[in-house]
Amino acid sequence: MTEVKSSRRKFLKTGAAAIAGGALIAAPSIAIAAKPVVLKVQAAWGGGIFLEFAQDYVRRVNEMSGGSLRIDLLGVGAVVKTAEMQTAVHKGVLDGAHLVTAYWYSKSPVASLFGTGPCFGWSANEMMGWIQYGGGKDLYYELMHEKLRLDLVGFFTGPMPAQPLGWFKEQIKSSSQMVGLKYRTVGLAADVLQEMGMSVVQLPGGEIQPAMKSGLIDAAEFNNPTSDKDFGMQDVSKHYHLASFHQSQECFEIIYNKTLFDKLAKEHQAILEYASEAASADMAWKAMERYSQDLVTLKVKHGVNVYRTPDSIMDDQLKAWDIIIERFNKSDPFFKKVVESQKKWAKRHGAYALNNAPNYQSAYEHYFGKL
């Protein structure tokens, strides 16, 4: 018994020493591993709630990594102009970027199908369902890697509510009132509204209000009541039209240089991707709170007249979309391939979703009165 106790004490003593020694030996490698990987990511946003959304994503990445991976978020224009961000990430000038696909529409109209494309009866969240599970992701990479030869990897995040038709100098009751107006939008929406007779100008968000104030444009949209309020659109117009099919489903795109991304540890790759999913859900919830609050502020504090865009105008938008889709289908087989994939998925999903959805408006009006 004494011999057993003695052996046990000896084992514990030598074992403890071995562990302590191992800790000393391991300490330098732990210190090296603790040095964070730092990624320089530029946002397309100079301020407002869109910059908040980018910051929310970055915060998740930084906190989830436990300090081993850090994103330094750079503001709009910090390294390159917004139109050059994708190229800068491709070349490695930037490690990543937070933007929307419409901002590289000039490289391929197909880009707009991943954010500012036609509405097939689906929302932005449902479009993201097609991207994640309906074949959209494969088509995205076919465009990026095979068609455009871009060294990029990308994630989609933050489904946006349908964008308002926007701000006009008077209430718009019919499409005829829009003919000839100089109007700001981006992506394929520009083609659609030109087809409806508008003269379209593509401007960055920060230039919209000054352009309308100076008379450079007659009408404009950006994205949502919060951003519009922050831009000061209520100071140049009192006529705000909600609902439209020109940009009825859009989301953010987060891109990284693929060569760099492939060299990252697998857990860091996972964090960059899964943080985009977590931020996506949070953004949708935050938008519900902020957009509805700021719409009330626009009406009550600033005297803005808020209208729902007439169905007749939205019907004319769908007819214009038909023309634009057919035009690009004929000129670009890959455009047609993406559209066919979207329509197939939207038809199947829509048959379920639209038939399953109760009439939420009737429930709202039951409790709160006529909209």
What does the pLDDT read at residue 371? Answer: 87
Percentage of the chain lying above the pLDDT 70 cut: 91
Q: Are 213 and 116 within one domain?
A: no
**Mean pLDDT, range 228-257, rounded to an integer:** 96
- 30 lies in some domain: no
35: its two tokens: 């040095």
- Give the CATH number of the domain where residue 219 resides: 3.40.190.10
Q: Are 343 and 234 within one domain?
A: yes
pTM, 2 dp: 0.88
- Give the CATH number of the domain where residue 106 resides: 3.40.190.170
Q: Are 149 and 235 within one domain?
A: no
Q: Are 206 and 281 within one domain?
A: no
pLDDT band for position 365 (cuts 50, 70, 90): very high
Checking if the pLDDT of 354 tops 80, the result is yes
Select the more confidently predicted residue: 17 or 176: 176
Select the more confidently predicted residue: 5 or 109: 109
Do 203 and 233 touch, CB atoms closer than 8 A?
no
Residues 302-320 pLDDT 10s: 999 999 999 999 999 999 9
Q: How far is CA 143 from CA 149, 157, 262, 333, in A?
A: 8, 19, 19, 12
- 116 lies in some domain: yes
Domain boundary among 239, 266, 288: 288
Q: Which residue range forms the structural domain that includes residue 219?
A: 166-248+294-349
Q: Are 140 and 273 within one domain?
A: yes
Q: How far apart are CA 104 and CA 66, in angstroms?
A: 34
Q: How far apart are CA 35 and CA 360, in angstroms?
A: 52
What does the pLDDT read at residue 205? Answer: 81
- Mean pLDDT (the chain) is 91
What does the pLDDT read at residue 34? Answer: 63
Do 208 and 220 touch, CB atoms closer than 8 A?
yes
Q: Are 174 and 221 within one domain?
A: yes
**H-only helix segments in the chain:** 2-33, 48-64, 85-91, 124-133, 136-141, 188-195, 208-214, 225-231, 258-263, 266-300, 311-331, 333-356, 360-368
Q: Are 217 and 298 within one domain?
A: yes
Q: Are 60 and 147 within one domain?
A: yes
Do 212 and 219 touch, CB atoms closer than 8 A?
yes
Residues 102-157 pLDDT 10s: 999 999 999 999 999 999 999 999 999 999 999 999 999 999 999 999 999 999 99
Domain count, the chain: 2
